[in-house]
Amino acid sequence: MEPDAYREMAATEGRHWWFAGRRAILASLIERLQLSKDSKILELGCGTGGNLEMLARFGEVAAMETDDAARAIAMEKTGGRFDIRPGRCPDRIPFAGQKFDLVCMIDVLEHVEEDVATLEALRGLLAPGGRVLLTVPAYQWMWSKHDEFLHHKRRYTAAALRSKAVGAGLRVTTLSYYNTLLFPLAAAARLLDLEGSAVPAAPVNGLLQAVFSAERWVAGRLPLPFGVSLLAVLR
């Protein structure tokens, strides 16, 4: 991503409705996976570390981040609590020889040119019974300047993500769109290039967070038919 994107992320991911809502949805989904308390969790592409504390509720967390500046921010933000290593997907993933009960790529796969090879590499990191948790942006027709700013390579449909996961030797156990309730607003903003990353005024931010995070009661239980993003659990 652009350096400015990491700075914006670091400044807003603790409070912005989208980051907070996504964490609530993913935490609810992980709870339903019923991981053991001593589970090993790996986040690939942890950015500035906004998900690490949430993931640490479910096990021992390690991470990889390609960008040096983002990795430094993540380490500073979390007080050095986590083992965050440099690396790159698919060919320079650290933690060789280690196995994980949960491997997370949270809005990362769309940044990687070799997405199928990356999914194959993730399969090799899984302990017996281990799972991969993915989120990616949906629908190529929603491509905007925001995707270019974030250095995205593509957006996905559910069918395309399933095909790539199966092609990498993984089994899809959960696949759903999400950020469905706010889809009309998000789609309009994308098509009109009206997106912004600043935290909205508190009442608006709180309302959007409440609406988005309400999907935690459904996402992963029932497949939602459309949405701004996709989530998947793979084995």
Q: Which 3 state secondary structure label does DSSP give 60?
A: strand
Q: Is the pLDDT of residue 50 over 90?
A: yes
Average pLDDT, the chain: 93
Q: Is the pLDDT of residue 205 over 80?
A: yes
CA angle 228, 102, 7 (to 5 degrees): 55
When pLDDT is cut at 50, 70 and 90, the band that residue 198 belongs to is confident
Work out the pLDDT band at 194, boundaries 50, 70, 90.
low
Q: What count of other Cβ atoms lies within 10 Å of the Cβ of residue 44?
A: 29
Percent of the chain past pLDDT 70, that is, above it, reads: 95
The residues, ordered by sequence, that sit 6+ positions from 96 with a Cβ below 8 Å of its Cβ are none
| Helices assigned H by DSSP within 36-149 | 52-55, 68-77, 115-125, 145-149
Model pTM? Answer: 0.93
Which segment of 26-35, 117-126, 178-187, 223-232 scores lowest on mean pLDDT?
A: 178-187
Q: Is the pLDDT of residue 189 over 90?
A: no
Give yes or no for residue 225 having a pLDDT over 90: yes
Beta strands 229-234 and 126-137, pairing class:
antiparallel
How many domains are contained in the chain? 1
Mean per-residue pLDDT, 169-174:
98
Residue 196 in this model has a pLDDT that exceeds 80: no
User: Could you report the per-residue pLDDT of 85-135, keeping only the tens digit for each?
Assistant: 999 999 999 998 999 999 999 999 999 999 999 999 999 999 999 999 999
Q: ∠ CA 177-202-70 to the nearest 5 degrees?
A: 65
What would the mean pLDDT of 136-141 be, rounded to a whole number? Answer: 96
Q: Which of 4-18, 39-53, 88-102 has the lowest mean pLDDT?
A: 4-18
Tell which wins on pLDDT, 170 or 194.
170
CA distance 208 to 105: 24
Judge whether residue 2 has pLDDT over 70. no
Cis peptide before 90 (omega within 30 of 0): yes
Query: pLDDT-derived band of residue 10, with 50, 70 and 90 as boundaries?
Result: confident
Q: Give the CB-side neighbour count of residue 6, counting CA atoms within 13 A.
A: 18
Other Cβ atoms less than 10 A from the Cβ of 66: the count is 19
- Asked whether the beta carbons of 103 and 44 are under 8 A apart, the reply is yes
Strands (DSSP E) contained in the chain are 40-44, 60-64, 83-85, 100-106, 126-137, 172-178, 229-234
Confidence of residue 170 (pLDDT cuts 50, 70, 90): very high
Q: What is the CATH number of the domain that holds 120?
A: 3.40.50.150
Q: How far is Cα 120 from Cα 169, in angstroms, rounded to an integer?
A: 7
For residue 27, the surrounding DSSP H or E stretch is helix 17-33
| 128: three-class secondary structure by DSSP | strand
Nearest-angstrom CA–CA distance, 99 and 159: 28
Q: Which residue would you say has higher pLDDT here, 150 or 108? A: 108
pLDDT band for position 42 (cuts 50, 70, 90): very high
**Mean of pLDDT values over 66-89:** 95
Domain limits for position 28: 3-234
- What single-letter DSSP state applies at residue 199? P
